[in-house]
Structure 1
Amino acid sequence: MPIAALVTGASRGLGLELIRQLGRGERPPRYLFAACREPEGTGATELKNFAKCFSNVKIVKMDVDDLNSIQETAEQIQEVLKDNGLNLLINNAGINFGGDLNGITPEIMMKTYTTNVIAPVMVTKALLPSLMQAAQLSGEHGFSSEKAAVINMSSIMASMEMFNIQNGKAYSYRVSKASLFKEESVQGILKVLARLSEQDNGLFLDWRGQRLPW
């Protein structure tokens, strides 16, 4: 496991389960940052209760739609890490308003694009110095999540080949992050992360490690 990891959108769903399994693993990160928009809100209660039991879990406030918030959090993380660097960034925060083509609006499109596309790039940019520092300190060759890696969580719906307009209402996606299979899927995600190599750079993989078409 990496020395330091950050998960965005960590107050619920897959983000929360990632924090749980990383935090209580056999080789947990020394620093496990759980980023969420409202750490003091009722929506972060489960995360806060978990963090009380694991001293390596540090909850940080980050609104991924706010550039100032991203930069402030990046600076806070760097202060904690000092010279260690950040080994693993998991861009998990995302939104899906659902609905079909008849109900879509420009506002919904822009909000979705801002959170799901622009935000991961801006978060990665803000934390790039810490990621590069970790890569230099690792002494390892090639690509791995223990050196320095950025993982962008997506959906099977991102595959144009596998997802067409006929199932565009996306009802299944809206409940997927809170489904009964959440724990199993996160176990698979962590197994995939552990065996990533340079050959996997830029690939679209599912939680089983199987390559998906774009």
Structure 2
Amino acid sequence: MGELHVRSVLVTGANRGIGLGLVRHFLGMPKPPQWVFAACRDPKGQRAQELQNLVSKHSNLVIIPLEVTDPASIKAAAARVAEHLGTSGLNLLINNAGIAKPNLLDNETLEDMTQIYTTNTIGPLLLGQAFLPLLKKAAQGSPGSALSCSKAAIINMSSSAGSIEELYVWDHAEVVSYRCSKAALNMLTKCQSLSYQKHGILCVALHPGWVQTDMGGSGSRKPPLTVDASVQGMLKVLSSLSEKETGTFLNWEGKVVPW
């Protein structure tokens, strides 16, 4: 299992938490990608300050404005990425942006369910559609027919909270809308894998673990994983993915998560 080698990668929700951790690790690789696209809602805002600091040190880092619930914003982001890539395609799309609200089943609302489903499930659907031409171009430009993240891949950041069999930490957090959105994201990943395999694109749902982020650490219990540990594990998994893993649901250690 070697190091992950990609020419270009786009990470959504890249201004904090796991997204920012992924960007840092890509930039810190012995052979970093030629292009690291860090997408977030407000690139010039206070919450993107760390990203802005990284840009001043890394010429291969480009911050892309992106609201994943807005089709026009997604289309504009794809156009901006295409301008930078020129004749080459995008190797790796990591749909990391996501939100959660600590709702119990009894106080779940139409508004919250809609907002969370739109961000966590519809966003990755629309991003996959918008970036498909660039992913196809990357796949066509890569030698051989075997699927891999170095060739072209969509990685959807899921959660074992969306596993219908596991119902991870239910007693700690019901987060019903979040669970439903991630279960739906898993089905989307399976559908993408079936539809996009003919284009040479690998698609996987990835559970990063319960991580010490603003979202993961909002409850009374401290999550067991640091961002660094989660990201290092996930990048190791991404480096090893092949055709047999497309359409699967894995965790940061490469273990299969039950649907």
Q: TM-score range by the shorter chain?
A: over 0.9
Structure 2: unaligned runs, 5 residues or longer: 176-209
Instruction: Quote how far apart the aligned CAs of 1:22 are.
Output: 0.5
SS at match of 1:60: strand
* 1:14-70 CA distance string (max 9 Å, x none): 000000001111111100100000001100001111121111110010100000000
Per the alignment, in what secondary structure is the counterpart of residue 150 of structure 1? strand
Whether 1:208 aligns to 2:253 is yes
How far apart in 1 are the matches of 2:32 and 2:128? 22
Structure 1 contact 13–182 (Cα < 8 Å) conserved: yes
Matching residue within 34, 38, 42 for 1:38: 42
Judging changes above 3 Å, is the alpha-carbon distance between structure 1 residues 104 and 46 closer, same or farther for their aligned structure 2 residues?
same
C-alpha separation between the residues in 1 aligned to 2:19 and 2:101? Answer: 18
Give runs of aligned pairs for residues 28-177 of structure 1, distance below 5 A: 28-163=32-167, 166-170=171-175, 174-176=215-217
> What's the Cα RMSD here?
1.7
Q: Give the Cα separation in 1 of the matches to 2:173 and 2:164.
A: 11
1:181-213 per-residue CA deviation (whole Å, 9 max, x = no partner) reads 111110000000001000000100000000000
Normalising to structure 2: TM-score of the pair?
A: 0.79
Segment of structure 1 superposing worse, 88-97 or 160-169? 160-169
Q: Secondary structure at the match of 2:155?
A: strand
Match of 1:190 in 2: 235
Q: What residue identity is the alignment partner of 1:93?
A: A
Contact 1:140 1:147 in 2 (8 A): no
Number of equivalenced pairs: 213
Distance 1:101 1:191 in 2: 36
Distance 1:151 1:175 in 2: 19
Q: Distance in 2 between matches of 1:88 and 1:33?
A: 10
Identity %: 44
How far apart, CA to CA, are the structure 2 residues paired with 1:31 and 1:193? Answer: 17
Query: 1:24 aligns to what?
Result: 28
Instruction: In structure 1, list runs of 5 or more residues that go unmatched.
Output: none
Q: Secondary structure at the match of 2:141?
A: helix
Q: Is the 8 A contact 1:39 1:59 kept in 2?
A: yes
Q: CA deviation at 1:167?
A: 4.4
Contact 1:8 1:93 in 2 (8 A): yes
DSSP-derived class of the 1:53 partner? coil
Check conservation: 1:132, 1:148, Cα contact below 8 A.
yes
